[in-house]
């Protein structure tokens, strides 16, 4: 590596990757051999999707961009998931990691990606450079409280997933279940075909599919006692999956030296019939995992343009008002079915801080709007209502 680039953040080049893999091997839990498979097989992967900082003639800080598309209601927008964030321990506390993350915003703007998503338990670091944590609850079901399992349904078979035969059926279930939801990643055929090169921690023996009269109508994926995904197009098939998941969790300790699981955790949208069903059990709890979803947008004008097809349907009347985010003022307006946002020097009518604005975009309302006339508050509430998240994003854990 050219020492003249020390301390400079930049997009990686192909000849940087031996050095990148050395850093990944040193810092991350997963060995570089696993990371190589991600970078080789992720759809449309490019060297520039790694962002690096060098020092003393070597790369000492790195992040990886995973471009994707996500559902936002009935539209699809460009996004980027960020992973493989690592800095050599000998070079920490110098701001190198923050430099890489801020550089990712430059890539987003150039590639029309409007939302950045990170799953992490290191909230303070990411929040310090502009990412906002958004609550993503799961439910925890005590296994001892599950006295009765759903009865077997005629015509429904639950079995282990078979890569060679089931990808098309699983992909269809995923698309039907997540279409018109929010923050769920769009997964094309290439994504599903290559996904096992980058998803880690999953127990493929506990990847189940449910067939109804020979057609795949539901699937579930597990890691330990956590159900990573459960998607379905037929509720009876979902109940059949749940029956098999409980059996798997109860028998797990018989397969080795592991202790029996006491709970099963699932992230199920609250408008889901399965969510209602599971809450019948005694002592079911809502919980937040160690890792949380963090979100940042590239710029508000680009974001509003991308989301306009959804926003325009939420409000019929024309409006205009100014709001404030981090001491900057923006005029948001609707005229003749066009929503526009632009920076202005005008005084704010409504004050919404940056964190609250990002959470509202993600369907969460942490607190009431601080100030403003009742009519303007109503407009903001209509534009950014609370909604149920899905958030099946690329899993790099």
24-49 confidence digits (pLDDT tens): 999 988 888 888 988 988 889 999 99
Residue 200: per-residue pLDDT: 67
pLDDT at position 137 is: 79
pLDDT at residue 13 greater than cutoff 90: yes
Q: How confident is the model at residue 393 (pLDDT cuts 50, 70, 90)?
A: low
- Length of the chain, please? 397
Instruction: Identify the burial level of 291 via C-beta atoms within 10 angstroms of its C-beta, where 0-12 means exposed, 13-18 middle and 19 or more buried.
Output: middle
Q: Percent of the chain scored above 90 by pLDDT? A: 48
Sole residue written with tokens 């067939």:
211
- In sequence order, the 6+-apart residues with CB closer than 8 A to the CB of 365 are 359, 384, 386
The tens digit of pLDDT for each residue in 195-231 reads 877 676 677 788 999 999 999 999 999 888 889 899 9
Average pLDDT for 169-189: 92
139-164 CB burial, b ≥16 within 10 A, e <16: bbbeeeebeeeeeebeebebeebeee
Lookup result for tokens 């199920």: 268
Does 397 have pLDDT greater than 50?
no
pLDDT in tens, 263-307: 898 888 888 899 999 998 989 988 766 678 899 998 888 898 999
Q: Cα separation of 158 and 149, whole Å?
A: 14
Q: Quick one: pLDDT band at residue 2, thresholds 50, 70, 90?
A: low
Under the banding of pLDDT at 50, 70 and 90, the label for residue 396 is very low
Domains of the chain (ranges, CATH numbers): 3-135 (3.40.630.30), 139-288 (3.40.630.30), 299-383 (3.30.1050.10)
The stretch 167-195 carries a mean pLDDT of 90
H-helix or E-strand spanning residue 157: strand 156-160
Residue 386 has pLDDT above 90, yes or no: no
pLDDT over threshold 60, residue 67 = yes
pLDDT surpasses 60 at 255: no
Bigger pLDDT: 241 vs 376: 241
- Distant-in-sequence, close-in-space partners of 179: CB < 8 Å, separation ≥ 6: 71, 74
Closest CA to 111 of 65, 142, 149: 65
Q: State the pLDDT at residue 4.
A: 45
User: Whole-prediction pTM value?
Assistant: 0.90
Structure tokens at 53: 């900082």
76-113 pLDDT, tens per residue? Answer: 999 999 999 999 999 999 999 999 999 999 999 999 99
pLDDT value at residue 47 = 97
Q: Is pLDDT of 134 > 90? A: no
Enclosing H/E stretch for 20: helix 17-27
């Amino acid at each position: 590596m050219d020492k003249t680039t020390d301390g400079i953040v930049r997009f990686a080049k192909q000849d940087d990757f031996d050095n990148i893999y050395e850093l990944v091997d040193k810092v991350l839990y997963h060995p570089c051999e696993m990371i190589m498979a991600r970078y080789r097989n992720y759809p449309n992967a490019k060297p520039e999707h790694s962002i690096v900082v060098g020092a003393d003639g070597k790369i000492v800080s790195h992040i990886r961009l995973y471009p994707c598309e996500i559902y936002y209601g009935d539209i699809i927008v460009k996004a980027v998931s960020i992973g493989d964030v690592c800095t050599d321990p000998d070079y920490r506390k110098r701001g190198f990691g923050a430099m890489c993350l801020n550089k990712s915003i430059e890539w987003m703007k150039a590639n029309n990606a409007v939302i950045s998503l990170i799953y992490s338990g290191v909230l303070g670091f990411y929040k310090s450079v502009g990412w906002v944590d958004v609550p993503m609850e799961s439910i925890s079901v005590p296994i001892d409280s599950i006295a009765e399992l759903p009865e077997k349904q005629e015509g429904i078979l639950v079995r282990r997933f078979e890569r060679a035969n089931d990808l098309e059926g699983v992909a269809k279930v995923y698309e039907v279940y997540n279409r018109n939801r929010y923050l769920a990643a769009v997964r094309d055929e290439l994504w599903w075909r290559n996904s096992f090169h980058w998803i880690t921690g999953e127990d493929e023996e506990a990847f189940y599919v449910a067939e109804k009269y020979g057609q795949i109508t539901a699937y579930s994926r597990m890691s330990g006692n956590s159900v990573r995904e459960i998607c379905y197009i037929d509720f009876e098939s979902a109940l059949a999956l749940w029956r098999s998941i409980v059996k798997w969790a109860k028998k797990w300790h018989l397969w080795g030296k592991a202790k029996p699981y006491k709970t099963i955790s699932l992230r199920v949208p609250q408008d889901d019939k399965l969510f209602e069903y599971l809450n019948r059990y005694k002592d079911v709890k809502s919980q937040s995992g160690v890792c949380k979803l963090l979100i940042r947008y590239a710029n508000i004008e680009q974001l509003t343009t991308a989301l306009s097809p959804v926003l325009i349907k939420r409000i019929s009347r024309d409006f205009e008002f100014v709001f404030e985010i981090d001491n900057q003022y923006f005029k948001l307006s609707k005229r003749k079915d066009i929503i526009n946002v632009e920076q202005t020097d005008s005084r704010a009518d409504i004050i919404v801080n940056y964190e609250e604005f990002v959470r509202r975009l993600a369907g969460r309302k942490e607190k009431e709007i601080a100030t403003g006339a009742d009519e303007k508050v109503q407009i903001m509430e209509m534009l950014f209502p609370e909604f149920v998240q899905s958030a099946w994003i690329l899993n790099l854990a």
